[in-house]
Structure 1
Amino acid sequence: MIRHIVFFRARRREDVGEILVGLSLLKQNPHAQRLEVALNGRMDQLGNEVDVVVYGEFADRDALAAYKTHPIYMESIERVRPLRDLRYAADFEMVEGYSVRL
């Protein structure tokens, strides 16, 4: 299983809602086994630069690759890219309870 986590920060505070809406399109992408889009809870004492988090689970690398080339993914990027200031992504593979580098 591949876990895919992406963090976003809006250029302007007033765009956070629109980013959330744009990223929520990803829930319609059929290649994810699980996909969540949520506002950051801002519970970290040291930094709260992240506004929105995307968390996805994929059967394998091929499923993640298909997700990233799906038209819904492309539409989401077109909506969100102009509104975001920051985007950090991480992908890691889980094998029998251990994470493995991709």
Structure 2
Amino acid sequence: MIRHIVFFTVPSDRLDAAEAGLKTLERVPHADRLEIRRNLNRDLMSNEVDLVVYGEFADEAALARYKADPLYQSAIDWVRPLREMRIAADIIS
């Protein structure tokens, strides 16, 4: 299984719009699990992250199909101008 985790920092006045754009990813059919959530910002050491994308994929091919889906590109086009930072990690579990 591949876990795909992406962190976003977004100015507060753009947070709702960025979240809405990322939520469109939940309609992409290639993930076993995909969630878009706001960070609770309860960590004492770091609260930079505003939004998190968490996905689980059967294998690298499923992750590639997800990233090739037109809805994925649409979400990128929507969110990229709204965000400040994006950090992504794909891990095998």
Q: Percent identity, aligned pairs only?
A: 52
Deviation of 1:43 after TM superposition, in Å, equals 1.4
What is the aligned residue count? Answer: 93
Query: Is 1:68 aligned to residue 67 of structure 2?
Result: yes
Partner of 1:4: 4
TM-score, normalised relative to structure 2: 0.98
Q: Which structure's relative contact order is higher, taking Cα pairs within 8 Å and 6+ residues apart?
A: 2
Pick the structure with more strand per residue. Answer: 1
- Spell out, residue by residue over 1:37-94, the C-alpha distance to the aligned partner (whole angstroms, 9 max, x if none): 0100111101100000000000000000110110000000000000000000011011
Runs of 4+ in 1 over 2 A off after TM superposition: none
Instruction: State which structure, 1 or 2, has the greater radius of gyration over its C-alpha atoms.
Output: 1
CA RMSD of aligned residues (A): 0.6
Q: Look up the match of 1:100.
A: none
The CA distance in 2 between the partners of 1:42 and 1:89, in whole Å, is: 19
SS of match in other structure, 1:82 = coil
